[in-house]
Amino acid sequence: MIMIFEKCRLKGRVLKNRIVFPPVVCFGWSKDGVMSQRHLEHYRNVAKGGAGLVIAEASCINPAARLTESQLGIWSDDFIPGYEKLAGVCHAEGAAVTVQIHHGGIKAVTGEPLVPSLAAGEQAPAKRGALKAKELDAAGIREIEDQFTAAAVRLKKAGVDGVELHGAHGYFLSYFISSSANKRVDEYGGSTENRARIVSNIMKKIRSECGGGFIIGIRYGGASPGLDDGIALAKIFEEAGCDILNISTGAFGETIPVPGKYVEFNSAVYTAIEIKKHVSIPVIASNSVGTIEKGKILVNGGLADFAAYARNILADYDWVKKTEQGKEPVRCFKCRTCRWFKRAFDDCPAQKIAAQKHAARKRAGY
C-alpha cells in the first residue's frame, strides 16, 4: 500500500513523501521579477518543513504577461542565478523543486491582454477593464510556445528539477484548453486535440530541449468545462510527454457536483480522483485538502498520488513534520488574508502565532 509519508520516486528522483507544496505567489516580494532573499528564506522554510515536492510560484515567461510588476520572472538569462539559489536551498533541505511557468493572458496587467479568440463564449471576458483583448494569430501563438520553452531551458540550466505549466485559473493556457473560451477555427481551436495543441507543443519542445529526466507537469482545471474534458486533456498531455498532473480549477473556476461518496472533498479534488483512473502518470489532488486525514484517504487509499497543501504550510512551515509526528500544527484560519489582500501571507495571523510559539519554546529551552 502507498503511504503519504513514505518515500517515492518521480522521474528518477527520490521524494521524501507524497506531500506537495503547490505554487503560491509572494506578491510584492520581488523587484523587477528577480528572486529575493526573502523568497529564498521562504522556500528554505517550506522545504525544511518536510514537503517532498515544492512547486515554486507562478514565474512569468514574458515581461508583458505579468499579474503584478513584482511577479517573479524567467524571461531572460539574467534570472537564472536566482533560480540556482532556489534549487540550492530546496535540495539542501531534501526537497525536489519545480517552478510553475506562467503567462497571465487576459489577466496580465503589464501588457496587452491576450485571448485565444475574441469570439469567446458567454462566460469568457474579452476585455480587461477598458482594454479590449487581442487575439493572436498562429505565428503569435508559436512565439509564446517558444517563450515557455525558453523559460524551461533556463530553469533546467539553473538546476531545478522541472517545470509546471500554469494551465489553470483563467490564465493564458487555461483559455486555450477550454471549449468555453476558445472558439478558434484553426489548428489551435475546435477539437480537444486542437485546443490542447499549444500545451502539447510546449511539452514536446521542452522535452526535446531539456531531456528525458526533466519533470514536465501541468496544473489545469479538471472540469473545464466538464469532467470529460478534464479526462480527455489528461490523456493528451500524457501522450505529449507530461510527467505529472496537478488538478485545480480552469478558465472560469468551474466546479461540478461531487457525488456523495466523495462528500468530504471539493470539485477540484474529485476531478483529480476521476482523472487518475484514466492515466498512468501521477496525479496531484489540490485545493482545500486541508487535513492530513483527508490526505491519507486520498493517497493511502490510492485515489491520488500526491496531496497538496498550500495554506496549511503558509500558516505553519512545519506543518508536514508536525503532522507526521502527531503534533498539533498551527492552524490556518482560512481568513483569506493571503488570498484577497494580495500580500501573500505577510499578514497571516496564524504565522504570527507560530512565530510567537517558536520564540516561547526557545525561551523555555526546548
Catalytic center residues:
171
Task: Give phi and psi for 135, each to the nearest 5.
Answer: -95, 135
Closest distance of CB 22 from ligand FMN, Å: 4
Q: Which amino acid is at 37?
A: Q
User: Nine-digit cell at 292?
Assistant: 492530513
Closest distance of CB 109 from ligand FMN, Å: 15
Q: Is 321 left (phi over 0), alpha (psi -120 to 50) or beta?
A: alpha
Pairing type for strands 8-10 and 13-15 reads antiparallel
Q: Which of 136, 145, 65, 141 is nearest to 102 (CA)?
A: 65
Asked if 172 contacts 195 with a C-beta cutoff of 8 angstroms, the reply is no
Nearer to ligand FMN, 221 or 282 (CB): 221
Asked if 36 contacts 30 with a C-beta cutoff of 8 angstroms, the reply is yes
Asked if 286 contacts 272 with a C-beta cutoff of 8 angstroms, the reply is yes
Closest distance of CB 294 from ligand FMN, Å: 10
Residue 29 has a CB neighbour count (10 Å cut-off) of 19
Q: Which amino acid is at 280?
A: S
User: Nine-digit cell at 243?
Assistant: 510527467
Peptide bond connecting 225 to the previous residue in cis, omega within 30 degrees of 0: yes
Closest distance of CB 143 from ligand FMN, Å: 23
Task: Give phi and psi for 131, each to the nearest 5.
Answer: -85, 125
- The footprint of ligand FMN (CB under 6 A) covers 22-25, 57-58, 100, 166, 168-169, 219, 248, 286-290, 308-311, 338-339, 344
